[in-house]
Structure 1
Amino acid sequence: MTALSERVSARPATRTRDRRQGMRLAPYLFVLPALALFAIFKLYPIAWSFWLSLFRTDGALQTFAGAANYQRLVGDPLFWTSLRNTGVILLVQVPVMLVLAMGLAVALNSSLLRFKGFLRLGFFMPMITGLVAYGVLFTVLLNPQSGLVNWVIGLVGVPEIPWLTDTLWARIAIGLALTWHYTGYNAVIFLSRLQALPKDHYDAASVDGAGAWNRFRHVTLPGLRPVILLTLVMSTIGTLQLFDEPYVMTNGGPDNSTMTVGLYLYNNGFRFLDFGYASAIAYALAVIIGILGVVQFRFLGERP
């Protein structure tokens, strides 16, 4: 009788224990489909790409080559040309775009400005335009012979500019397209941070006699620091992966002056079907992005 009562009393405790274990496992069961999709569509391609980078492609034949693709990468002048072109865009276009976005955000945050909602929407609208669509748009606008831009500047006596056919002007054209597309997007990010800054900081600065420039320098800029880091990192990653604009507008020309790393990767993988070398380029690009990200966080991240 005593043993039976002990078994009966143990059953509720066992059920309680099983219920608690089930509750602990329930969150993992809900996350499991997302983890499975991530593993199939993200982890597997990343791992397979690295495996491909260790093979040399000769037509339909693939032979194991070890680090040969990476050694080829180091001695490939066209890869270094594409990396230099991408670096020029990164060092010139990204700072100009972020400065314009910051100034635009400050203007849109002004209490003196009317129709703020309409203006914010207008400056953000380019971001929702498809990459290929706006690349085609700029190709038409900047056509050296029949483009609208050359026609307009011709009305004031300026000679035709060889957009897309000159090495320097082709780079400028890519930069203009990127700036038009992404400035409003970054301005909205800056604006959201500006609206979250405490007003009493500006009031205190005004009481201390700080003018508009000093308020911007000592209040606005420090407050925008996390967003500056965010937009800089995102713009750096996006620029290093730049593909659509040079592919649509110039196809990497003229004379490889707008050949970016992303476009060079695409050409090797899908035009020359050299998937091993393309995978090596992809991993080299990932390493470069990681290094730049660490450097940016090191110098712009929050310090204790």
Structure 2
Amino acid sequence: MKKKITGQLSNRKLINPRTAPYFFLAPSIVLLIVFTLYPVISSFILSFQSMSGAEKYFVGFDNYARLFRDPIFYKSLGNTFQILIVQVPIMLSIAILIAVGLNSSFIRFNGFFRVAFFLPAITALVAASLIFMVILDGNYGIVNYLLSLVGLDPIDWLNDPFWAKVSVIVVMTWRWTGYNMVIFLAGLQTIPKDLYEAAGIDGAGKARQFFSITIPQLKPVFIFTVVMSTIGTLQLFDEAYILTGGGPNNATMTITLYLYETGFKYFDFGYASALAYVLVVIIAIISWIQMKVVGDS
């Protein structure tokens, strides 16, 4: 009996209570190091290297210096910022208006409409993009058919530089407006109704209540959605890749799409890694500026 008790006590001491949390966290830490930390460090080192066949050799800052002489880099960066400046404000404006409407008691079947607006965010992007390619087809698309019914000329949506960019913006807005609407809706439901009742007693109309109560109370939500939407747009890849392939004439070439083609089409992994880290710095700077501007306003 004594030996049995001694064995149980020794088994209990196999794991020290102080080190037990680290023991259980070890698998996650190992996975984080192998699949996140190691690729980040490896790609950073690769950005200072170039490849000749399977051999790597150190080139210093040549890959970064090459960025300043690369017209496609400036083109892709400009395209990305143009889409960002136009798409994010439009998307967030529509999202807040829909959220306010669905948060009111005037619209019936709110649950149905909330699900309907959110569905695009969980729809397979490849399938959705293929559908939009059919809808926006210059010859047989339903959009041009509707335009012809009102006497307007057809538009070559995916092959004209301007309209191709518009098409990408439309698809992005369709996909992510519902996602941001849900975030705004959650924020709206945390605003005390007493504020609106007091404002109504003081004679404030719905518009005044919206700008004096709703918008200020949603300030943290606005910071979150603006920063996250900006980061997502700066990483824009899927829509441009599937709809237009970056064309026509690089009109929809985004920085992430250019990074992908540089690495996996031309196998210039050193330069692609340099592009990736420049993008990281750009995202960090813009996010910091947005948080300071929106947070201090």
TM range (shorter): over 0.9
Which residue is 1:95 aligned to?
89
Larger Rg: 1
For residues 192 and 296 of structure 2, the distance between their equivalents in structure 1, rounded to whole angstroms, comes to 19
Q: TM-score, normalised by structure 1?
A: 0.91
| Gaps in structure 1 of 5+ consecutive residues | 1-14
Which letter does structure 1 place at the counterpart of 2:155?
Answer: I
Deviation per residue, 1:109-164 (Å, 9 max, x gap):
01111000001010111111112221111111101011111112212211101101
Q: CA RMSD in A?
A: 1.5
- 1:124 aligned to 2:114? no
| C-alpha distance in structure 2 between counterparts of 1:24 and 1:37, whole Å | 22
Normalised TM-score (structure 2): 0.93
Q: Give the Cα–Cα distance (whole angstroms) in 2 for the partners of residues 105 and 218 of structure 1.
A: 17
2:263 is equivalent to residue 269 of structure 1 = yes
What residue number does 1:218 align with?
212
Identity percentage over the alignment?
A: 51
Unmatched segments (≥5 aa) in structure 2: 1-8
- Superposition pairs of residues 1-304 of structure 1, within 5 angstroms: 22-301=16-295
SS of the equivalent of 1:24 reads: coil
In 2, distance between residues paired with 1:286 and 1:246?
20
Task: Tell me, in whole angstroms, the C-alpha distance in 2 between the residues paired with 1:277 and 1:195.
Answer: 47
Q: Give the superposition deviation at 1:61.
A: 3.4
- The answer to which of 293-302 and 241-250 deviates more is 293-302
Distance between the aligned counterparts of 1:181 and 1:237, measured in 2?
16
Distance across 2 between alignment mates of 1:29 and 1:40? 17
1:300 Cα deviation from its structure 2 partner = 1.7
**How big is the shift at 1:60?**
3.3
Deviation track 1:162-197 (CA, whole Å, cap 9, x = no partner) reads 101111000000000000000011001100110111
Aligned length: 286
Q: Which amino acid aligns with 1:186?
A: N
Provide the secondary structure at the position in 2 that maps to 1:177. Answer: helix
> Which range is displaced more, 29-38 or 79-88?
29-38
Given residue 173 of structure 1, which amino acid in structure 2 is its aligned partner? Answer: S
